[in-house]
Structure 1
Amino acid sequence: MKHEFAVLSHIHLQPEITFERPAEPPEIVHWDSPAVEVMTDFRRVRPITVPPEVSIDTALERMKRVGVRLLLVIDEHERIIGVITARDIQGERPVKLVQETRIPHAAIRVEAIMTPQPEIVALNIISVRNALVGHIVETLRALERQHVLVLEVDEATKAQRVRGLFSTSQIRRQLGENINADIPPAHSLAEMQHEIG
């Protein structure tokens, strides 16, 4: 059976027309700016992923090519089974593995040094929406991490989805200063949640 569709009205482009762009995060933020201004939001930016069986050298090359320092490690069903960072690959984990197992560095696979899914800590997007940049910096410092994932939790099913992430390099770039230096006093995320609640 053939469907009948009407032709849509159409127009010509005007001179000097431009195109729509997604909202850019602010180039400069401050310690008391909303935290979401420094979050990489996976609704706007596709996360970069890697399968667990690729070599760590391949993973590092992918990071360099796309300009990130963390990859989500996913299985064949796109479920997150871990994360791997440039620090993991360039740090002592591969060196220890080579010493312990005698396998060549080039043969080390992502799954051997990634942080497995049960060990990953994350923030709830609900907390993040009420947080400031300073809270995120303090949290990263307390966790001794350069990245932290942000989760969205379905109220009815309690199912989690990774909504985005925070990265010290992104925050440092937008703040325009070294975030490892002493930061201005800020309430802890727990104190702030208590105050808001």
Structure 2
Amino acid sequence: MPENRYKPLPWTKLKRGVPCYLPRAAGHASVDANSPALEVMTDYRRQTPVTIARSASLDDANRAMTLCRVQYLLVTDEQQQLLGIVTEAGTRGNQPLAIAHRMGVRPGELVVGNVMIDKHDEAEVLHLRDVAHARVGNIVTTLKELGTPFCLVVDHDEEDHHVLCGVFSLARIQRQMGLEAHTEEIAQTFSQVVSTLGR
């Protein structure tokens, strides 16, 4: 490669006494039911997902979700292959207590693998080819039909393996539609979002 092909850019030094601030977090653009669905998808092709091992404790999972300000974690193995998804509902409250009782162990002995949604057994996914032409209203209707606040989006590589592209989260859609986040049951949350689709 010729040494003169790439020229150095102009540079300077930070001036003493001149403040230098961290950037403000960019807010999500406001959307409505007719906005492109991709505007509310968390795109893992551009943003690295937060992952956790299936052997991690529920306390570790809860700490990770709190620190990263997310409501779910992707469960992966050493090869970064998706094993499932774990949500706040699976790590807190009655669900882990019921699982511990069924397994005959103390709740503190549970690990992520005991409470995660297995990718093969229970995880419904959308395909990127369908999402690419869909609208936000289509996504909300789909989440309502599935009865879940999350849905993964996949594509396929040359060998026809699934490649995880992103996720739709009802909480994110709420924020981008300018609705307040609530902790009520999923059905109530859906009714609030769906009620805005006709506006």
Q: Same fold (TM over 0.5)?
A: yes
Alpha-carbon separation, structure 1, partners of 2:56 and 2:148: 24
Summarize the Cα distance change of 1:103–1:36 in structure 2 as closer, same or farther, 3 Å threshold: same
| Corresponding residue number in structure 2 for 1:183 | 195
By how many angstroms is 1:100 displaced?
2.6
Alpha-carbon separation, structure 2, partners of 1:99 and 1:70: 23
Task: Report the 3-state secondary structure (helix = DSSP H, G, I; strand = E; otherwise coil) of the residue aligned with 1:131.
Answer: coil
Summarize the Cα distance change of 1:76–1:184 in structure 2 as closer, same or farther, 3 Å threshold: same
Give the structure-1-normalised TM-score. 0.80
2:6 matches 1:6: no
By how many angstroms is 1:9 displaced?
2.3
User: Residues 25 and 38 of structure 1 are in contact (CA less than 8 Å); yes or no, is this contact kept in structure 2?
Assistant: no
| Corresponding residue number in structure 2 for 1:148 | 151
User: Residues 31 and 133 of structure 1 are in contact (CA less than 8 Å); yes or no, is this contact kept in structure 2?
Assistant: yes
Percent of aligned pairs with the same amino acid: 28
Task: Report the 3-state secondary structure (helix = DSSP H, G, I; strand = E; otherwise coil) of the residue aligned with 1:53.
Answer: coil
| Corresponding residue number in structure 1 for 2:174 | 172
Summarize the Cα distance change of 1:27–1:185 in structure 2 as closer, same or farther, 3 Å threshold: closer
| Corresponding residue number in structure 1 for 2:47 | 45
Summarize the Cα distance change of 1:159–1:60 in structure 2 as closer, same or farther, 3 Å threshold: same
Query: Which structure 1 residue ranges, 5 or more long, are not aligned?
Result: 187-197
Tell me the matched-pair count.
Answer: 177
Alpha-carbon separation, structure 1, partners of 2:140 and 2:159: 31
| Corresponding residue number in structure 2 for 1:60 | 62
Task: Report the 3-state secondary structure (helix = DSSP H, G, I; strand = E; otherwise coil) of the residue aligned with 1:166.
Answer: strand
Deviates more, 1:5-14 or 1:164-173: 5-14
| Corresponding residue number in structure 2 for 1:130 | 133
Q: CA RMSD in A?
A: 2.6
1:71 to 56, 59, 73: 73
Question: Deviation digits for residues 4-62 of structure 1, max 9, x if unmatched?
Answer: 9726422323799xxxx9xx674210111000000000111100100000111110110
Summarize the Cα distance change of 1:69–1:26 in structure 2 as closer, same or farther, 3 Å threshold: closer
| Corresponding residue number in structure 2 for 1:195 | none
Question: Deviation digits for residues 105-155 of structure 1, max 9, x if unmatched?
Answer: 22210000111121211000011011100110010011011100000123x
Quick one: which amino acid aligns to residue 10 of structure 1? P
By how many angstroms is 1:160 displaced?
1.1
Alpha-carbon separation, structure 1, partners of 2:178 and 2:78: 39
Query: Which structure 2 residue ranges, 5 or more long, are not aligned?
Result: 15-22, 181-188
Question: Deviation digits for residues 64-103 of structure 1, max 9, x if unmatched?
Answer: 1001111111112111111101111124321112323342
Alpha-carbon separation, structure 2, partners of 1:11 and 1:70: 42
Deviates more, 1:173-182 or 1:27-36: 173-182
